[in-house]
Amino acid sequence: MDLCPAESTGLTGAEEAEIETIRKHRQELLDDIKKLKEEIAEVIAEIERFQREEEKQVADSNPGEQISKQSERDKILSLGRKKFNMDPEKGIQYLIEHQVLSSDLQEIARFLHKGEGLNKTAIGDYLGGRDPTNIQILQAFVACHQFANLNLVQALRQFLWSFRLPGEAQKIDRMMEAFANWYCKCNPGVFQSTDTCYVLSFSIIMLNTSLHNPNVKDKPHFERFVSINRGIDNGGDLPEELLKNLFESIKNEPFSIPEDDGNDLTHTFFNPNREGWLVKLGGRVKTWKRRWFILTDNCLYYFEYTTDKEPRGIIPLENLSVRKVDDPKKPNCFELFIPNCKGQKIKACKTDGDRKVVEGKHQSYKISAATPAERDEWIEAIRTNISQDPFYDLVSARKKKIASKN
């Protein structure tokens, strides 16, 4: 897709030529990066081959001098970790083939739990897999945690630090199900069922977000937390003292979520689902401004210039819908809005004139594309990216299950 719309943009010839030069330069950089990755892979393979030949020559010329097995194992382990961080399945397979790991699922789980040199996101992605082997490793991984005599928040702190929770609802469900089962086994009698532990765990995670996310202005009170969790203990209510202790623990200290080096903005914007120039209607001041939009990871980012490193605004697409709309001043418009919630502001943020992050003022976002075809392509791409918050869906389903038992 071109950097500039096909229609007249109001730019001078020199400005359009400069944008075209930037577009070509950007494509050249992307091509160079791709070639570098391929060359790095070839170099790594060549280094491995060279090391094997060198070690063989040393062994042949010095029969009495054996290369340290531990040193060789460390090299394989280091390479295996790198492979795991790029592709968890291939990394584990490599370590098994080179006999650093056995195929014993308990041993693999302990390796992941120890986590030395492993990307936490890659661990979460691997553990969340639906293959029966992955599920068994997940159960063994959870069992590596010592939850006995810990309250639920303490156990969640330990659990959520050992990996990064993936974004896919089914993976989250499997991982939290395994957590709830193991916690209840370690602490019999605390809850009447694992369903109670499952629902309360999600409530705590969502409470953590609500209390400590600066974009959430309406901070929940303890009474609201109690209300949300009514009837989840096999139809009965949990002791208020227990809920109070959990609430205060999260209020006083948020969860520490592990960060991986690969999750910075450069990584986020490197391979977007869609990008291009669009014209956006302001929230408080109703003026149309041309912005460079990037669609990736269930968010719509917009920039003042393509060369900006940080976005002017971020629109999370969770729980939003998109549709075509007409506007008397601009053609080819579409709108982002919250269905069935008229008057509610979209949870978004932007930077003001002083570059401070402030809450967005939009109840909906009206955006104009250059052509009807481009508008339809953006709508389709956004619909593909939009996702409902999986936590709410999972908790709702489990609450219905509890209610059906009573």
Q: Which residues are designated catalytic?
A: 168
Angle at 257 between CA 252 and CA 258, to 5 degrees: 145
Give SS3 for 159: helix
Determine which helix (DSSP H) or strand (DSSP E) holds 303, and give its type and residue range. strand 299-303
Count Cα neighbours of 175 within 13 Å in the Cβ-side half-sphere: 24
* Phi and psi angles of residue 56, each rounded to the nearest 5 degrees, phi first: -65, -40
DSSP symbols for 304-356: SSTT-SS-SEEEE-TT-EEEEE--SS-SSEEEEE-TT-TTPPP--EEE-TTS-
Cross-strand bridge partners of residue 365 = 336
* CA dihedral sign of residues 160, 163, 164, 166: negative
For the chain, how long is the longest CA-to-CA vector?
A: 87
3-state helix, strand, coil in the chain (%, to 5): 50, 10, 35
**Residue 262 carries which DSSP code?**
G
